């Protein structure tokens, strides 16, 4: 089989090796080609089959018996388990074990708080405007604080409709809405349960360290020397 | 208690049903015990074992969640959940199917396998009155009609000189199950699947039958019970592993015996219609003969397949690996020739550990179960390792490789036997 392949290597195109090429009376091309058939030992699949069985057997034995050895070794000494005794099972047993999401994972929304515990959102309507899925509903209300003017009376996000693009967080001028909870939308039995309300999102919120009204025009100079990530937290 | 039970039973049952101890030697009783205690549990467990084992081979965990309260058993209960699901699922019968044949096909697939188990000796002959005593083989050979050997129970349901032929004759009927299912479904793909099934079964049954001719030539019988009780070489004890047919009973016959084992195993996997020979079914893409079946009717095809795995394993264990024999375990306990332990030497040159008959029987039945389980495990290993053949590769392998090789093995074995007899 390999010999036949080597002969094919310097052919201009892939395909069977052409032995003779003639033209029939009718003007049609007639070609005789060399057909490559597998050698008997390849055709019986014995060699390859045995090799494959060896691989699967190795994995099976390793995954079946090594957890036992690992457990007994752990119980004995509490010593670190040697890397070669680890089994190779990749399964994460989901509700009990969880994979930690990457730091910038966009999860469930939350609403941030002011220093006095009130909602930071000023109902400026930037996020429902930019939202491509139209999943944010805000009904504004007046506040007693004349410097703020508005607050959301109703703030609802339909998580079943949300496309988790993060544009609402980008659009927010006052660090009121964030998607950094690290949780994903929970499965629900009713569609209505998939809607996050002002209360549920505030419950996840923390006090923002962003300064009310911003740092002023020359914030860059004043932030110099601050460790990364501390400016806006 | 037995007497009162049997007398009350005798009043209720017709005359031809035996009473007393003989009811245990009655084929229907033995068949029910074999199917309910060995075959069905093993086949059900295989549905779980297959998924767990394939998961372990692919570095996954597999199903481990099904539980009754806190009882989890590593997911073994999944087969209970599966069975309940299949029983209570909608039994959907498409329009235009042939209703009678559609209902008949799963039965035709399942019944032959259950019947074929009749030829398998799954344990030694039990002598109930000797259960707690050490059996005397010399006494048994010279005076089998003695009162202590009465009421014997032979753990083989159907004994005939043509036992293995009976198995081929019955298992061929399972072929109709697939083909009729494909025909009755009124579905072109199902019909093609049924045709693939029948062509594959017919091709491989030839190689299968011919590869069993080598053990026939070596042992001199087609009766599985005889093969187990005598082995390949009458000079050696049947419990001696070198007397089992994989070793051929002689140095010269090892090669043909092992070769016919390989051929029979290959053809046997093809017969169970599982990967790498799952062309008739090909569930993910080419669609098999049971595409129109749902619920427990589909479950019957599924179960038939798993029982076939158990059956092929049982045949291989019986014919090639000494059936229920434990190495060196005779009817009266362990006897190891040539093993000399100071203080335990016997004048006959055998090391002998006497054991009561009941213990020997228990060990031997467990040994048979263990052999079947190991062979099932190996079939699952192959099923999850090798990719599916193409239809033409399948036919080439069957007709151009297995068939000539099995014929060659028969000729070589016959020649060797002839030379050895001269």
pLDDT tens profile B263-322? 999 999 998 888 788 888 877 777 888 899 999 999 999 999 999 999 999 999 999 999
Query: CA of A223, closest CA in chain B: separation in Å?
Result: 50
Q: Which pLDDT value is given to residue A186?
A: 83
Q: Determine whether the interchain pair B385/A88 forms a contact, defined as Cβ–Cβ distance below 8 Å.
A: no
Tokens of B125: 């002959």
Closest listed residue to residue B239, CA positions, set B114, B355, B94: B355
Sequence-distant (6+) residues with CB within 8 A of B329 are: B239, B355, B360, B363, B364, B367
Question: Mind listing the pLDDT tens digit for each residue in A157-197?
Answer: 999 999 999 999 999 998 899 998 888 888 899 999 999 99
Cβ atoms of B233 and B243 within 8 Å: the answer is: yes
Q: Determine whether the interchain pair A53/B397 forms a contact, defined as Cβ–Cβ distance below 8 Å.
A: no
Question: Mind listing the pLDDT tens digit for each residue in B238-277?
Answer: 888 888 888 887 888 899 999 999 999 999 999 888 878 8
Q: Determine whether the interchain pair B59/A43 forms a contact, defined as Cβ–Cβ distance below 8 Å.
A: no
Tokens of B42: 């093993």
Closest listed residue to residue A196, CA positions, set A225, A156, A165, A164: A156
Name all contacts of B235-238 with Cβ < 8 Å and 24+ positions apart: B237/B328, B237/B330, B237/B335, B238/B322, B238/B325
Mean pLDDT, chain A, whole residue set: 80
Tell whether the torsion through CA atoms of B192, B197, B198 and B200 is positive or negative. Answer: positive
Report the SS3 class of residue B197. Answer: helix
Q: Which pLDDT value is given to residue A164?
A: 93
Least CB–CB distance from A49: residue in B56, B59, B386: B386
- Mean pLDDT per 10-residue interval, chain B, length 422 residues: 58 71 83 89 91 91 87 87 92 92 93 92 89 84 84 88 90 89 92 91 90 91 91 82 85 90 92 85 80 91 92 94 90 75 61 86 94 94 89 87 93 92 83
Q: Which residue has the higher pLDDT, A233 or B327?
A: B327
For B384, which residue in chain A has the nearest alpha carbon? A56
Cβ atoms of A197 and A156 within 8 Å: the answer is: yes
Q: Which residue has the tokens 């009817």?
A: B331
Q: Which residue has the higher pLDDT, A224 or A63?
A: A63
Question: Mind listing the pLDDT tens digit for each residue in A5-53?
Answer: 444 444 455 677 888 888 888 888 888 888 877 776 676 677 888 899 9
Q: Rounded to whole angstroms, what are the CA distances from B386 to B3, B25, B117, B171? A: 55, 43, 28, 25
Determine the Cα–Cα distance for residues B270 and B305; give it in Å rounded to an integer: 11
Question: B54 to chain A: which residues are within 8 Å by CB?
Answer: none
Determine the Cα–Cα distance for residues A117 and B324; give it in Å rounded to an integer: 79
- Work out the burial of residue A78: count CB atoms within 10 Å of its CB; fewer than 13 is exposed, 13-18 middle, 19 or more buried: exposed
Closest listed residue to residue A162, CA positions, set A201, A123, A209: A201
Residue A229 binned pLDDT confidence (cut-offs 50, 70, 90):
very low
pLDDT at A126 over 80: yes
Q: What is the ipTM of this complex?
A: 0.83
Tell whether the torsion through CA atoms of B336, B338, B339 and B340 is positive or negative. Answer: positive
Question: A53 to chain B: which residues are within 8 Å by CB?
Answer: 381-382, 385
Question: B53 to chain A: which residues are within 8 Å by CB?
Answer: 60
Q: Which residue has the higher pLDDT, B145 or A151?
A: A151
Report the SS3 class of residue A110. Answer: strand
Q: Which pLDDT value is given to residue A1?
A: 40
pLDDT at A227 over 60: no
Q: Which pLDDT value is given to residue A8?
A: 45
Q: How wide is the angle at C-alpha B134 spanned by C-alphas B132 and B135, nearest 5°? A: 110
Q: Which pLDDT value is given to residue B140?
A: 85
Report the SS3 class of residue A122. Answer: coil
pTM of the predicted protein model? 0.80
């Amino acid at each position: 089989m390999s010999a036949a392949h080597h002969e094919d290597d310097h052919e201009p195109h892939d395909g069977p090796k052409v032995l003779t090429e003639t033209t029939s009376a009718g003007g049609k091309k007639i070609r005789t080609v060399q057909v490559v058939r597998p050698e008997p030992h390849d055709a019986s699949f014995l060699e390859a089959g045995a090799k494959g069985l060896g691989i699967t057997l190795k994995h099976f034995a390793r995954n079946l018996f090594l957890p036992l050895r690992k457990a007994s070794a752990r119980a004995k000494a509490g010593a670190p388990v040697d890397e070669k005794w680890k089994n190779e099972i990749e399964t994460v047993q989901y509700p009990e074990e969880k994979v930690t999401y990457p730091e910038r994972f966009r999860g469930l929304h939350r609403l941030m708080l002011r220093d006095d515990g009130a909602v930071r959102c000023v109902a400026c309507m930037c996020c429902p405007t930019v939202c491509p899925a139209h999943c944010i509903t805000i009904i504004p209300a007046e506040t007693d604080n004349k410097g703020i003017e508005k607050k959301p009376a109703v703030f609802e996000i339909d998580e079943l409709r949300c496309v988790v693009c993060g544009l609402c967080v980008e659009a927010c001028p006052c660090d009121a809405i964030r998607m950094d909870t690290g949780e994903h939308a929970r499965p629900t039995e009713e569609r209505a349960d998939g809607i996050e309300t002002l209360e549920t999102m505030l419950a996840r919120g923390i006090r923002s360290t962003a300064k009310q009204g911003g740092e002023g025009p020359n914030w860059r100079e004043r932030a110099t020397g601050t460790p990364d990530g501390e400016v806006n937290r | 208690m037995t007497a009162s039970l049997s007398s009350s039973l005798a009043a209720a049952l017709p005359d031809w049903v035996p009473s007393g101890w003989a009811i245990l030697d009655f084929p229907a009783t033995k068949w029910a015990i074999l199917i309910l205690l060995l075959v069905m549990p093993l086949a059900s467990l295989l549905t779980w074992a297959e998924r767990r084992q394939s998961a372990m081979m692919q570095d996954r965990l597999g199903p481990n969640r099904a539980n009754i309260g806190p009882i989890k058993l590593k997911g073994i209960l999944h087969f209970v959940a599966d069975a309940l699901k299949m029983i209570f699922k909608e039994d959907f019968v498409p329009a235009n199917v042939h209703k009678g044949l559609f209902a008949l096909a799963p039965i035709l697939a399942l019944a032959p396998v259950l019947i074929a188990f009749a030829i398998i000796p799954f344990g030694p002959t039990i002598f109930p009155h000797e259960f707690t005593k050490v059996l005397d083989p010399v006494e048994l050979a010279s005076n089998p009609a003695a009162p202590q050997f009465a009421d014997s129970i032979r753990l083989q349901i159907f004994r005939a000189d043509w036992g293995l032929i009976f198995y081929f004759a019955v298992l061929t009927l399972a072929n109709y199950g697939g083909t009729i299912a494909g025909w009755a479904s009124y579905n072109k793909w199902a019909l093609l699947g049924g045709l693939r099934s029948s062509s594959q079964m017919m091709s491989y049954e030839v190689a299968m039958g011919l590869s069993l001719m080598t053990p026939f030539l070596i042992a001199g019988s087609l009766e599985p019970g005889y093969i187990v009780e005598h082995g390949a070489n009458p000079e050696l004890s049947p419990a001696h592993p070198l007397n089992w047919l994989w070793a051929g009973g002689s140095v010269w016959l090892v090669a043909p015996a092992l070769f016919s084992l390989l051929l029979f195993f290959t053809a046997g996997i093809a017969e169970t219609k599982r990967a790498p020979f799952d062309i008739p079914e090909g569930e993910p893409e080419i669609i098999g003969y049971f595409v129109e079946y749902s619920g427990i009717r589909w479950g019957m095809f599924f179960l038939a397949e798993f029982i076939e795995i158990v059956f092929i394993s049982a045949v291989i264990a019986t014919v090639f690996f000494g059936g229920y024999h434990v190495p060196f375990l005779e009817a009266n306990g362990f006897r190891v020739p040539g093993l000399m332990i100071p203080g335990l030497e016997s004048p006959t040159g055998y090391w002998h550990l006497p054991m009561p008959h009941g213990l020997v029987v228990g060990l031997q039945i467990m040994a048979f179960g263990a052999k079947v389980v190991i062979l099932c495990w190996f079939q699952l290993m192959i099923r999850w390792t090798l990719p599916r053949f193409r239809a033409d590769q399948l036919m080439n392998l069957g007709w151009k490789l297995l068939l000539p090789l099995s014929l060659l093995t028969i000729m070589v074995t016959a020649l060797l036997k002839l030379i050895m007899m001269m």
